[in-house]
Amino acid sequence: MDLIKMEKIIKYIIITTIIGLIGYNAIYFQSLKERKNTVISVFDPNVLAKDFIQNKIIELPSMKAGEFLMSLKKDSLKFITENGKKLGISTDYYFIVESNAVIQAIQEENILITLDDKSAVEMLIATDFIFGNTVREASGIANIGDFQNTMDFNNISIALNDKIRSEIIPPFVEKAEKGNKIYFKGAIKVDTKKLGTTPFRIVPLILTFL
Amino acid sequence: MYSAGCTSDKFMTSENGWNIMQQISVNVCISVGMTLVILTKGIDLSVGSILAFSGAVAAGLLKNGIEIPGLDLYIGFTVFGAILMGIIIGGSLGFFNGWMITKFKVAPFVVTLAMLTMARGATMLWTGGFPITGLGDHFAFIGTGWFLGIPMPVWISAIAVILAIILLTKTKFGRYIYAVGGNESAARLSGLNINKIKIWVYALSGILAAVGGIILTSRLDSAQPNAGLSYELDSIAAVVIGGTSLSGGRGSIIGTVQGALIIGVLNSGLVLLNVSPFWQQIIKGLVILIAVILDRVNHDNKD
């Protein structure tokens, strides 16, 4: 075998090895059935939202609203990034908080409350504009990575929004009066670019009179 | 720029500087490819659509992979694999542009205009008209991460610029590009394979558009079906402002980077000065006109 042929063979071996290495690091194979078992298939956002509101919100991990606000004052950015949930590359973080509180005023779009603790900090409970996204992100009810397109993911927010607007807020607002002692659990959005903006607005998940 | 610096306290900050650099990185990538094309006396109107399609393909493969039900097989793609496929797609579409232009002697304007429409349609088909989101932190790092104190998009566009400068100034292929644009007949008579050079130039333009698409998709953490709309115009503007002649054969990558910077700074300054978006477009158009007139006056004098 002459030198030129040897060179060609070596060249082909090197090229094949490089392509093989690239391919090995670029793709992987899986059984389709196995794959489908690990990924959410067709789903109904209304069923998901109903199950969440009826069965999951009581046990949903949360922090005391007073503690949340205190921690936010100390080292806000560190606290937020370590304890909050966020979606993708967004700079907004989400939390679930709960506390006892006293109603201070019934406003057009919110109920103004003060926490029933030493801090007596003012917060707002949203009663008109409800953002399902805040609940979806704060609760971790769904992971965007599991969805084929954003429509399905967004529909969860819409379903949550509908449930909160129709089942949680009306029976509470009907009886709410200034001075009432209440217990609330809800979701909060914190925009890291607008830290210090108060009072925080809570999207309610549980609202009960004490 | 002076006015923006004096009026807005946010303009002359390092944060805004990095923001501008990140924003122009996509335009720099596609403008580098556009410079190569314009140097050969061509034009590539399809870069915006190729950018969108390549980004969507990378995002789609990363997110959904390829399913082959007949074989009960799922082919998944790693971040590296998805990016590689996006770049291959961009390069292939650019190659097709070049092949059509040289094989059928069709004007680059027409071929790339057709590709603009086809690639946009393909993007719509691939995405179903919906954004592909949730691409993961590793993929997001390309567009939003920092390395050695510099944003990743800036690193990527800087590498593209350096490679293009080396290609144009230190290689035979670079000299051939200038020769083809300067005088195509003379270049042909000198024995250059004009078709091969043009095809590779359009392929490179496609590859660089794909790189821009991947940066953009990563920055947004989603592949948008309408991403890159009108990007070809910003890219041509950067090349022209940078002093590359639309008649081919004369220009430089550094000039193009300067052009992209001018557009980026102008955009940022006008936004911070609260100038109406309608006026912003008029001002940008005037800047392009002035750049072309100045370039024409300078070169007429030299001639």
**Chain B residue closest to A145 (CA)?**
B134
Three-state secondary structure readout of chain A: CCHHHHHHHHHHHHHHHHHHHHHHHHEEEEEHHHHHHHCCCCCCHHHHHHHHHHHHCCCCCCEEHHHHHHHHHHCHHHHHHHHCECCCCCCEEEEEEEEEEEEEEECCCEEEEEECCCCCCEEEEECCCCCHHHHHHHHCCCCHHHCCCHHHHHHHHHHHHHHHHHHHHHHHHHHCCCCCEEEEEEEEEEEHHHCCCCCCEEEEEEEEEC
What DSSP designation does B70 have? Answer: G
Residues 6+ apart with CB under 8 A from B22: B151, B153, B154, B219
Q: Is B183 exposed, middle or buried (0-12, 13-18, 19+ CB in 10 A)?
A: middle
Enumerate residues 6+ apart whose C-beta is below 8 A from A54. none
Q: Which of A75-84, B32-41, B70-79, B144-153 has the highest mean pLDDT?
A: B32-41
d(C-alpha A189, C-alpha A202), whole Å: 8
Residue B303, pLDDT > 50, answer no
Q: Please give, rounded to a whole number of angstroms, the shortest distance from the CA of A166 to a CA of chain B.
A: 29
Nearest CA in chain A to B61: A27
Which phi and psi (to 5°) does residue B112 adopt? -75, -25
Q: Which of these, B66, B58, B231, B78, lies nearest to B132 by C-alpha position?
A: B58
Whether residue A151 and residue B73 make contact (CB cut-off 8 A), yes or no, is no
Residue A55: per-residue pLDDT? 86
Task: Kindly determine whether residue A27 and residue B69, on different chains, have CB atoms separated by under 8 Å.
Answer: no
**Whether the predicted pLDDT of B258 surpasses 50:** yes
* Pair A147, A136: CB distance under 8 Å: no
- Token digits of residue B252: 């430089």
> Does the CB of B68 have a partner CB in chain A at under 8 Å?
yes
3-state secondary structure of B66: strand
Residue B257: partners with Cβ closer than 8 Å, 6 or more residues away: B28, B31, B32, B161, B242
Domain chopping of chain B, boundaries = 2-302
Q: Considering only the top CATH level, what class is B2-302?
A: mainly alpha
A199: nearest Cα among A79, A119, A137: A119
User: Per-residue b/e over B141-166, b at no fewer than 16 CB within 10 Å?
Assistant: ebbbeeeeeebbbbbbbeebbeebbe
Q: Do A150 and B130 touch (CB under 8 A)?
A: yes
CB B213 within 8 A of CB B55: yes
Side chain identity, residue B143: G
Q: Tell whether B297 is within 8 A of chain A (Cβ).
A: no
| Share above pLDDT 70 across residues of chain B, in percent, rounded to a whole number | 94
Q: Please judge whether B74 and A145 are an interchain contact, meaning their C-beta atoms are less than 8 angstroms apart.
A: no
Mean pLDDT on B223-250: 89
Interface contact A27-B73, CB threshold 8 A: no
> What are the residue boundaries of the structural domains of chain A, listed by start?
1-30, 42-209
The encoded tokens of residue B302 equal: 């030299």
Q: Which of B80, B85, B219 sits opposite A25 (nearest CB)?
A: B80
Residue type, A117: D
| Torsion sign over Cα B229, B234, B240, B242 | negative
Could you give the CA distance from residue B74 to residue B132 in angstroms, rounded to a whole number?
19
Q: What is the pLDDT of residue A149?
A: 67
Q: Which of A33, A146, A153 sits opposite B72 (nearest CB)?
A: A33
Both tokens assigned to B211 = 């790189």
Nearest beta carbon to residue B133 from set A32, A34, A88: A88
Average pLDDT, chain B: 89
Q: Specify the DSSP class assigned to residue B173.
A: H
Please report the pLDDT score of residue B177 as a whole number: 93
B73-77, strands of its sheet edge to edge? A27-31, B73-77, B66-68
Confidence check: pLDDT of B14 > 80: no
Cα(B238)–Cα(A11) distance, rounded to whole angstroms?
41
pLDDT over 60 (residue B2) = no
Cα–Cα dist B236/B220, whole Å: 24
Out of A71-85, B166-180, B202-216, which region has the weakest mean confidence (pLDDT)?
Answer: A71-85
Q: Measured between CB atoms, does B144 come within 8 Å of chain A?
A: yes
Q: Which two tokens stand for residue B297?
A: 């006056």
The residue among A88 and B164 whose pLDDT is bigger is B164
Question: CB contacts < 8 Å between A and B, how many?
Answer: 72
Q: How many CB atoms lie within 10 A of CB A194?
A: 9
pLDDT greater at residue B208 or residue B72: B208
C-beta contacts of A6-15 below 8 A and 24+ residues apart: none
The stretch B192-208 carries a mean pLDDT of 94
Report whether pLDDT(B156) > 90: yes
Is A151–B130 a contact, with Cβ atoms under 8 angstroms apart? yes
SS3 state of residue B199: helix
Question: Measuring CA to CA, which residue among A51, A45, A47, A53 is closest to residue A135?
Answer: A53
Helix B79-103 / helix A3-26 crossing angle, nearest 10 deg: 120
More confident residue, A79 or B34: B34
CATH topology of domain A42-209: OB fold (Dihydrolipoamide Acetyltransferase, E2P) (2.40.50)
In this structure, what DSSP letter does residue B132 have?
E
Instruction: Find, in chain B, the residue whose alpha carbon is nearest to that of A89.
Output: B221
**Taking chain A (210 residues) in consecutive chunks of 10 residues, what is each chunk's mean pLDDT?**
78 88 85 72 76 86 88 82 82 90 90 86 87 86 74 85 89 90 92 77 90
The verdict on a CB contact (< 8 Å) between B74 and A35 is yes
> What is the arithmetic mean of pLDDT over B261-280?
85
- CA angle, residues B35, B153, B278, in degrees to nearest 5: 70
Q: Which of A140-149, B125-134, B204-213: highest mean pLDDT? A: B204-213
Picking from B63, B71, B85, B133 by the largest number of A CB atoms within 10 A of its own CB, the best residue to mutate is: B133
What sign for the dihedral angle of Cα B54, B57, B58, B60? Answer: positive
